[in-house]
Amino acid sequence: MADPVSIAAGIVGLTTFAIQSSKALYEAIENVKNNGRTIRELKEETISLKDVLCSLQETLTLCEIDLSALQVPLRRCGQLCQELSVLLGKCSAHSDNGKFSIRDFFASTYQSKDLTEFRSLIAAYKSTIAVALADANM
């Protein structure tokens, strides 16, 4: 059985990783000069995710609670944000006048996931973390 202190430190580290990744994703979204609905929704979901992650971080610093169940969701959430940041950087590389080029539009799919699916995944991670946080605070 793992040491509770190491598990708690791991959760804090994963939370920090996820926050940094969500901030990088937000910046990548800000660099996309497309104001389409999908980009706006992705931006809003990213802000909401960061807020939940910051609440989690605050709770972890104030309380001693077992949130070890969040190890995998936090890691995957951070990885997803990193991957999407890279993808958005690549897909806006050949665009002009704030519009995605056709080439970039096709590059904006990753393993058959489009930006809407990424937004849905971010929302799912955010919900999982929020539910665990609410449960721990009860």
pLDDT digits (tens, 9 = 90+) for 34-46: 667 888 899 999 9
On the 0-12 / 13-18 / 19+ scale of CB atoms within 10 A, 15 is buried
Instruction: Give the pLDDT mean for 9-31.
Output: 92
Mean pLDDT of the region 87-98: 67
Q: How far apart are CA 63 and CA 73, in angstroms?
A: 20
Asked if 108 and 118 count as a contact pair (C-beta separation under 8 A), the reply is no
pTM of the entire predicted model: 0.83
Question: pLDDT tens digits, residue range 93-108?
Answer: 666 655 555 455 545 5
Would you state the pLDDT for residue 115?
78
Pick 96 or 59 by higher pLDDT: 59
